[in-house]
Structure 1
Amino acid sequence: MRKNCCLSKPWRKIKKCYITRISLLCASLFLVNVPVFAAEKIDANEKAQQENKAKLENVQKAIAKQESNIFDTNKKRSTLEKELKRDDMAIAKVARAINNIEKQLSERQQQINVLAKQKQQLEQEKLKQETLLAKQLRSAYTTGQHDYLKLLLNQEQSEKIQRTVSYYHYLNKARIEEIENYQATIAQLLQVSTEHQEQIDQLEQLKIHQNQQAQLLKSTKAKRSKTLANLSKQLLSSQQQLAKLKSEENNLNAALQKLSELIQAEINLTGLSKLKRKLSWPVKGRMLHRFGSRKQGYLTWKGMLISAPIGRQVHSIHNGTILFSDWLKGYGLLTVIDHGNGYMSLYAHNQTLLKSVGDRVETGEPIALVGQSGGQEQSGLYFEIRHRGKAVNPKLWCK
């Protein structure tokens, strides 16, 4: 046992030494590889940073490109909207001219009808006078067989001569009067006939002018359609569309606020407070959008959009004074009427406006013609009622 124990001590030393050497060798190998691992890790971090930097640059370029596209789109839309305004104003000018021509045509036709009736009456009167003159001439011819000079020289029947002379004077006077009346009738008939023909000629000229204006209106509308088509190509996102509508609504509110400050209330304008359910709609048509319904995002309709054909007359719902009569972005050709006591009515998207600022209008009076100005694809009237600047439901007033 001792021998074995003695032999085991050197073995233990050798084993311990061996283990120590192996440990030192492993440690040295680990220490040698540490810089290699660290370098690889640094390289990986640098590569990741470069990739992230490249991605960030790409995102920034994409954002810049998108912003540039939005800027270009807004710039193009602004240019096209200005062109649309010019087109709407040109259409309004031609439509108003056509409306005036139609009024003149109606007046000329009425005058022609009156003159035609006068001409017919004068021709009947002329025929009666001719018949009466013919009878008088036959009577004169019948009695004229007794020589007038012989009757004067005949002294035997003085009383009979006196009666005959008086009779001749009576007949002659009556005949002269009828001839004068006949001549007056002929002169009046000639004058009426001449005026009648002049009115007919003017009517034909107005019709020619109306056709020319109609052709001009057609070409102007074609140009507007082209502008709208180009405008529709400039697509807007939902957010941009919402911002656009909000901007247009703010413009309207600002304009109304400015008008409210300029209003000088008239004593005879009593407002609409006592007229609920008593007013007529400004135009007959189908309701496309109702008050309070959703418009875009959180925006709602502040009035009614009524479908109606182009050219139909728009009537004032109540008497008042024209406060605004011009083109406004998003609303086209717009008329605003002050009814007193803070009440206003608005009429938008018209083809043309028939009244100017300051004009007094009565209930039911035509103030505009239905159109689709302001970029509308469908013809109709946008109608609002406001009280002290706040939009109220028109259905509470109109029946």
Structure 2
Amino acid sequence: MLFALPSQAEQNNRNESVQKKNRAKLSDVQKAISQQESNIFDANKQRSILEQQLKNDDLAIAKVAKAINKIEVDLITTQDKISTLAIEKKQLTIAKQKQENLLAQQLRSAYTTGQHDYLKLLLNQDQSEKIQRTISYYQYLNQARMKEIDKFQATIAQLLQVSTEHQAQIEHLQQLKEKQLQQGNQLRANKSQRSKTLKKLSRTLLSSQQQLNKLKAEENNLNQALSKLAAIIQAEIDLTGLSKLKRKLSWPVKGRMLHRFGTRKQGYLKWKGVLITAPISRQVQTIHNGTVLFSDWLKGYGLLTVIDHGNGYMSLYAHNQTLLKSVGDRVETGEPIALVGQSGGQEQSGLYFEIRHQGKALNPKLWCR
């Protein structure tokens, strides 16, 4: 008994020591879990901030790109006006020269035939019939000269007006070029800022499961947006849908197919449309006439346009650099609706394109050739 008591005490001490160590380990694990949760929360918060910054960068690029596109259209229009005015100015200059020559001929003719002073003819009573004929001739010649002088003055005034407008258009063209240069510099600055944001986003790496959850959330976000749009669509008599247009439509943009409909995207998720690579600023054209239902930035899809074609058919155009149409605009087949970009966090420029019927994604290859 005396020998057993110290042994039991030692055992109790060892057990208590083990429990203390286990409690210390548990406390360390709990602290590590808490720290990891805090790190994940901070990382998600930082990523959310960066995604908002990416949206702002995309919208800034879109604004400048749209302004540049408008300037390019204005440049073409102004150059056409300058060419037209230059032709008109040349024609008026030729007409002016002809009228000058005609007036000169009339003056020379009047001088050579008018050997007698007009007042003397009036006072001479000897040859009244001859004088009357001469006076009539003078009056006819004078009227012809006045008519030509009036035409000449009108030509001079028109030539001055055309010359003034021609010069104004040349100055306007120069202003457009300067503005285009400024907007180009702004666009490069915005793209540089976007690149920095993307680099920061790439450093907040996601696990495969997180990436899957992210894509699933973005897809659900798109589906919810389309459901809301479908609910507010008002049927239009002249929108007949796409059911009779299989393999008759043109692709919205020319380029190489990077991802095809139905192929694996991430985990069990599959592509519900196609991703077409194309250079930045290439025009995106609507596949068929319709009404713009959505024209804005959407997480995961960047600058997105959705067009209603009637009878439950919609087409989607995502990752654009800028959008050229607004909600409610009517668009015709082949009309430019956007410019190719890489908004929404894309590293490569291109267009994501979908066709849907009653909310269900369809293979675009069945409609486009």
TM-score range relative to shorter protein: over 0.9
Picking from 216, 230, 249, the partner of 2:186 is 216
Q: How far 1:350 moved relative to its partner?
A: 0.9
SS in 1 for 2:328: coil
Report the counterpart of residue 204 of structure 2 in structure 1: 234
Pair 1:336-2:306 in alignment: yes
Rounded Cα–Cα distance in structure 1 between residues aligned with 2:227 and 2:130: 99
Pair 1:162-2:132 in alignment: yes
Report the counterpart of residue 135 of structure 1 in structure 2: 105
SS in 2 for 1:338: strand
Pair 1:146-2:119 in alignment: no
Pair 1:79-2:49 in alignment: yes
Q: How far 1:359 moved relative to its partner?
A: 1.1
Q: How far 1:154 moved relative to its partner?
A: 4.7
2:68 aligned partner, one-letter code: I
1:64 aligned partner, one-letter code: S
Pair 1:180-2:150 in alignment: yes
Q: How does 1:1-399 map to 2 (within 5 A)?
A: 53-399=23-369
SS in 1 for 2:185: helix
1:238 aligned partner, one-letter code: S
Q: How far 1:51 moved relative to its partner?
A: 5.3
Rounded Cα–Cα distance in structure 2 between residues aligned with 1:337 and 1:370: 17
Report the counterpart of residue 11 of structure 1 in structure 2: none
Instruction: Give CA deviations for 1:248-282 in whole Å, capped at 9, x if unaligned.
Output: 01100011011111111111111000011111111
Instruction: Give CA deviations for 1:60-116 in whole Å, capped at 9, x if unaligned.
Output: 443333322221111110000011111111111111122222222222222222222
Q: How far 1:40 moved relative to its partner?
A: 7.1
Q: How far 1:332 moved relative to its partner?
A: 0.7
1:217 aligned partner, one-letter code: L
Rounded Cα–Cα distance in structure 2 between residues aligned with 1:218 and 1:224: 10
Mean CA deviation greater in 238-247 or 153-162: 153-162
Report the counterpart of residue 16 of structure 1 in structure 2: none
- The root-mean-square deviation of aligned C-alpha atoms, in Å, is 2.2
Rounded Cα–Cα distance in structure 2 between residues aligned with 1:152 and 1:382: 93
Rounded Cα–Cα distance in structure 1 between residues aligned with 2:269 and 2:38: 28
1:378 aligned partner, one-letter code: Q
1:212 aligned partner, one-letter code: Q
Structure 1: runs of 5+ lacking an equivalent: 1-30
Higher-Rg structure is 1
SS in 1 for 2:164: helix
Q: How far 1:32 moved relative to its partner?
A: 8.7
1:108 aligned partner, one-letter code: T
Q: How far 1:34 moved relative to its partner?
A: 7.3
2:236 aligned partner, one-letter code: E
Structure 2: runs of 5+ lacking an equivalent: none
Instruction: Give the fraction of aligned pairs with identical amino acids, expressed as a percent.
Output: 74
Q: How far 1:150 moved relative to its partner?
A: 4.2
2:299 aligned partner, one-letter code: K
TM, length-normalised to structure 2: 0.93
TM, length-normalised to structure 1: 0.86
Mean CA deviation greater in 104-113 or 50-59: 50-59
Number of residue-to-residue matches in the alignment: 369
Q: How far 1:297 moved relative to its partner?
A: 1.1
1:333 aligned partner, one-letter code: L
